Amino acid sequence: MISRVLTCVSAIFLIFVLQNLFPVPTSKAAAPMFATVPLRVMSWNIQFGEGTDAVTNFDRTASWIAANNPDVVGLCEVPADSVPTLVSLLTQKTGRVWFFQFAPKYIGTDEGNLILSRYAFSSVNFKFLSADRSVAEATINVGGQNVNFFATHLDDAASSNRVTEVGEIKSWASNFAGPRVFVGDFNGGPDTAEALAMADTYTDAWMASMGQGTAVAYPDNPVGVQTRTRRGRIDYVWYSGLTIRGARIPDSRDLNNPNVAIRLGTSDDAGVRPSDHNNVVADFDVSVDGSAPPPTPTPTPTPNPTPTPNPTPTPTPTPITTPPLLLIDPTNGRALALHASLFTREPFSLVSELNEGTDKRTRVMLFCTNLDLAAGESISSVTAVAVNSWRTVFNLPVEYVGKVGGLSWLTYVVVRLPSDGALVGDVSVAIAFRGIGSNSVTMKVVP
């Protein structure tokens, strides 16, 4: 088994590695590693995987999603039986684990809304709306901050139906705390009643980006209020509680392929597209400032008679309000993790003759902030899980929790990888402290 205490040589080496990956805060006070974490959102009506050449090709759909490099995606007009294929193709093309939540449009249909996320879901939900529509919901944890993500497709028949559906979505979404993001095909332009009803509570990411000069489109579809996602702008990203950095409506035309069969009468007919809708991409900053709030002033005590002494109760750990934050390497967005014995980076083998202990299982050190065990508190307060590409969850036994020498704000957690060969490839790892979950980070495991 691994040593419970790092040797001086190992500690010095570990600090050297960390300081070369991350700047050490100049303040002596504890500080979060990141004040914000970027989040890229994509909204797209994929038209059942059918391109404007009238060819259904989910490989092409997955390729276009991968090319946009989103963190979380909301899709509509998705056939239910295509979901496993689409997820598998996207995994192959990105090398990432993708989590998904599908909501049928109404009872009795195989069409619906799909959420895809590289972040593991903290929870999922969905709701049926009026006029045979629905909204899918998934809560993801981004750098310790829960973000509630909704994907929908409003009615195509009448604006009055869409206004009703917007009201239903807003009422339901009010039950979800924290930042919220809504994506989907609203079947109405930004000047319609349904869009205005949404805008009285949430911000249109495209309009906000236009206002700050960070909206990007292409010459045949210039930036404007009605930059086309179809014949006009009917596909949206709405948000609250986040900071917008910019938005794009990319050119998805293959100008080398003029075999367009589904024409809209716009310049987008100049080349085949993977759908008759253009997608919208929005980049956000998620605030994950983990600094402690100012303490509540202590009132001046009123003198009381000296009480009869009682046995001192066992102290209860203070409830945490800030989730632990697993650190990532800013150069590649992957987990900051080291082999616990060799101090090497990923990939990590499940077993190796070089590992300490008789079981030869690999131990991995994960680094985090916002995790401080109370005096005498057991490491059982910390748990860890890993999720593979098939969404199988593996418990990772926690064997040690400690502070990195000289860095009181930085904690390392040693976890043991399982012997199960199903936990291979890019896996999503998360920890929890006193039941409060961290963000998910990605690392590679090999047999």
pLDDT one-digit tens code per residue, 176-234: 988 999 999 999 999 999 999 999 999 999 999 999 999 999 999 999 999 999 999 99
What's the confidence (pLDDT) of residue 96? 84
Average of per-residue pLDDT across 142-159: 94
Beta-strand ranges (E) seen in 277-342 are 280-287, 325-326, 328-329, 334-335, 337-339
Residues with Cβ within 8 Å of 233's Cβ and at least 6 positions away in sequence, in order, are 189, 190, 206, 225, 226, 227, 249
Q: At what angle do helices 58-68 and 83-94 cross, to 10 degrees?
A: 50
Beta-strand ranges (E) seen in 63-157 are 72-79, 99-104, 111-117, 121-129, 133-142, 145-153
Residue at 176: amino acid letter? F
More confident residue, 432 or 252: 252
Q: How confident is residue 152, by pLDDT bands cut at 50, 70 and 90?
A: very high
Based on its alpha-carbon atoms, the radius of gyration of the chain, rounded to whole angstroms, reads: 25
User: How far apart are the C-alpha atoms of 204 and 244, rounded to whole Å?
Assistant: 10
What pLDDT digit, counting tens, does each position of 20-71 carry?
Answer: 554 444 433 333 344 688 999 999 999 999 999 999 999 999 999 999 999 9
Cα distance from N-terminal residue to C-terminal residue, the chain: 20
Average of per-residue pLDDT across 390-404: 86
User: How far apart are the C-alpha atoms of 193 and 175, rounded to whole Å?
Assistant: 24
Q: The pTM is what? A: 0.62
Neighbour-count burial of 220, counting CB atoms closer than 10 A to its CB (0-12 exposed, 13-18 middle, 19+ buried): middle
The distance from CA 348 to its chain's CA centroid, rounded to whole angstroms, is 23
